[in-house]
């Protein structure tokens, strides 16, 4: 293992790549040479490669997404020592933004600051590099509803600000998704309206001829129910829905911990017939486990573990 690490460091030195090694040689920080493309246009944003993942300055990402549907504002609260993100708000670009190209990572440490998105704490891994907060791009995409992919042939990072879920094979799931509004965005709409509420269930279903996200949550003893149009993001219904029962707090979950809907659907549909079609799905806690329940038009019901993607049950 040590020989491989020495050869690795020798190679990057020969190539002239800037590397920062810290924590007794356990972690290397390399200037990323990968091009970044947003909505088919190259953007000037530089990052670092840490443990084979791309990390970018969060203010740079806010700057490049500023004129898109995925825009967000980010600020630092010095009193609370927290990073605070608000989706849908414009970001005021600063002189230091988008000017970090080819800067050596002289100071690198694991981030220990809490991050809040629309007032709710988010579980995002970060590093403090040269005094700035850098986050894993895929984590940011998942939390803030923009798509991140990688073209291995051209070594290009691909970003899409209008998140459209990919078509799941061998069914017409695309007819009931289209995802003009991604699940992350719907989740953020709910948490913005009810910043102190915790989500207990998210479902995707047809309501009066329109496909909607239905999100349920609790705040103290109050239960909330919200329905969001999946095409427009319009809040169709937002109401108090009774009194929370004892033990309901154990049935809450954070979307940042969940596998993507596309992944969970693909896992479940491996067990479906070729011509079967998705009718609706639901994400909730059942018997202490996070369950992604897929219902097909054939009547087949497939339960997938929302954290691992493992098939839990198939009921026909």
Q: What is the chain's percent helix, strand, coil content, to nearest 5?
A: 20, 40, 40
Model pLDDT for residues 97-130, shown as the tens digit of each residue: 887 566 777 778 888 889 998 888 888 888 888 8
Tell me the CA distances in angstroms from 114 to 117, 122, 123, 260, one per residue in order: 10, 8, 8, 23
Tell me the CA distances in angstroms from 280 to 169, 208, 226, 236, one per residue in order: 16, 14, 17, 18
Domain segments of the chain: what residues?
Answer: 2-160, 173-315
Q: What are phi and psi of 189, to 5 degrees?
A: -60, -45
pTM over 0.75: no
The alpha carbon of 183 is separated from its chain's Cα centroid by a whole number of angstroms, namely: 9
pLDDT at 183: 81
Query: Residue-wise over 156-188: b if at least 16 C-beta within 10 A, else e?
Result: ebbbbbebebeebeebebeebbebbbbbbbbbb
Question: Under CATH, what is the fold of the domain 173-315?
Answer: Nuclear Transport Factor 2; Chain: A, (3.10.450)
pLDDT at 238: 94
Stretches where the chain sits below pLDDT 50 are 1-26, 164-180
Q: Give the span between the Cα atoms of 240 and 260, in whole angstroms.
A: 28
Which is nearest to 31 in space by CA: 15, 242, 69?
A: 15
Q: Give the span between the Cα atoms of 55 and 135, in whole angstroms.
A: 5
Query: In this structure, are strands 27-31 and 47-50 parallel, antiparallel, or unpaired?
Result: antiparallel
């Amino acid at each position: 293992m040590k020989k491989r690490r020495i050869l690795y460091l020798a190679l990057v030195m020969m190539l002239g790549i800037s590397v920062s090694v810290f924590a007794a040689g356990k972690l290397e920080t390399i200037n990323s040479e990968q091009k970044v493309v947003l909505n088919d246009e190259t953007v000037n944003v530089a990052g670092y490669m840490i443990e084979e993942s791309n990390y970018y300055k969060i203010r740079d990402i806010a700057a490049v997404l500023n004129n898109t549907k995925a825009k967000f504002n980010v600020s630092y609260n010095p009193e609370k020592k927290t990073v605070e993100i608000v989706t849908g708000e414009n970001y005021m670009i600063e002189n230091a933004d988008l000017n970090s190209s080819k800067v050596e990572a002289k100071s690198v440490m694991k981030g220990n600051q809490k991050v809040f998105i629309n007032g709710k704490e988010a579980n995002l891994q970060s590093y403090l590099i040269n005094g700035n907060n850098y986050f894993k791009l895929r984590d940011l995409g998942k939390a803030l509803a923009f798509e991140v992919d990688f073209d291995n042939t051209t070594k290009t990072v691909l970003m899409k600000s209008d998140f459209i879920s990919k078509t799941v094979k061998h069914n017409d799931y695309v007819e009931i998704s289209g995802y003009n509004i991604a699940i992350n965005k719907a989740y953020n709409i709910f948490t913005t309206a009810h910043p102190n509420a915790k989500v207990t269930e998210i479902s995707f279903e047809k309501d009066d001829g329109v496909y909607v996200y239905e999100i349920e949550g609790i705040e103290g003893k109050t239960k909330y129910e919200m329905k969001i149009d999946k095409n427009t993001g319009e809040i169709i219904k937002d109401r108090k829905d009774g009194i929370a029962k004892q033990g309901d707090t154990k049935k809450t979950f954070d979307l940042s911990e969940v596998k993507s809907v596309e992944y969970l659907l693909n896992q479940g549909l491996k067990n479906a017939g070729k011509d079967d079609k998705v009718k609706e799905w639901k994400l909730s806690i059942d018997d202490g486990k996070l369950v992604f329940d897929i219902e097909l038009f054939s009547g087949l019901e497939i339960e997938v573990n929302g954290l691992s993607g493992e098939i839990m049950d198939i009921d026909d």
